[in-house]
Amino acid sequence: MSLATLLRRGVGLQLGVLTEPTVDLLAETLVAFANGDGGTILLGVDLQGNITGELQIEDAESLLRGALSQCRPLVRTDWQQFEDRAGLAVAISVPRSTELHSLADGRVLVRTHLGNEALDGGKISHLAATKASGDYEMEPVPGATRADFDEEVIQDYLTRRSTRLGRDLGQTEEELLQAVGALNPQGQPTVTGILLFGHDPQFFIPQSGLIYVRFAGTEPRGPGGLPGYNRREEFNGALARVIENSWSLLLQEMRGEAVVRGLKREDRHLYPLFAVREALVNAVCHRDYRLTGRRVEVRQFDDRLEISSPGGLPGYITLDNIVDEHFSRNPRLVNGLFEWGYIEQLGLGIDRMIEEMVQAGHPAPEFKPTPYSFSVVLQRGSGTPLPRAVPEWASRLNDRQIRAVQYLQQYGRITNREYRELCADVTPETLRLDLADLVDKGLLMKIGDKKGTSYILK
Report pLDDT digits (tens) over 175-194.
889 989 999 999 999 999 99
User: What pLDDT does 390 receive?
Assistant: 47
Question: What sign does the CA torsion over 444, 445, 449, 454 have?
Answer: negative
Cα–Cα dist 6/8, whole Å:
5
Task: Please provide residue 235's backbone torsions phi and psi, each rounded to the nearest 5 degrees.
Answer: -125, 125
Please report, for residues 421, 433, 434, 448, 458, the alpha-carbon distance to residue 416 in angstroms, rounded to integers and kept in the order given: 9, 11, 10, 12, 17
pLDDT for 225 beyond 70? no
**CA dist list (Å): 60 to 29, 56, 65, 79, 152:** 15, 6, 9, 10, 45
Phi-psi domain of 273 (left: phi exceeds 0; alpha: psi -120 through 50; beta: other)? alpha
In the chain, pLDDT over 70 holds for what percent of residues? 90
Kindly report, residue by residue over 87-107, the tens digit of the pLDDT.
999 999 998 888 889 999 999
| Domains of the chain in sequence order | 3-132 (3.30.950.30), 133-389 (3.30.565.60), 392-457 (1.10.10.10)
The stretch 214-225 carries a mean pLDDT of 77
73: preceding bond cis by omega (within 30 degrees):
yes
CA distances from 260 to 199, 360, 382 (A): 44, 18, 20
Q: Are 317 and 325 in contact (CB under 8 A)?
A: yes
Give the pLDDT confidence of 14-62 residue by residue, as tens digits: 889 998 999 999 999 999 999 988 899 999 998 888 899 899 999 999 9
Q: Is the CB of residue 446 less than 8 Å from the CB of residue 453?
A: yes
* 51 C-beta neighbours (distance < 10 Å), count: 19
Which has more pLDDT, 294 or 227?
A: 294
Whether the CB-CB separation of 165 and 158 falls below 8 Å is answered with: no
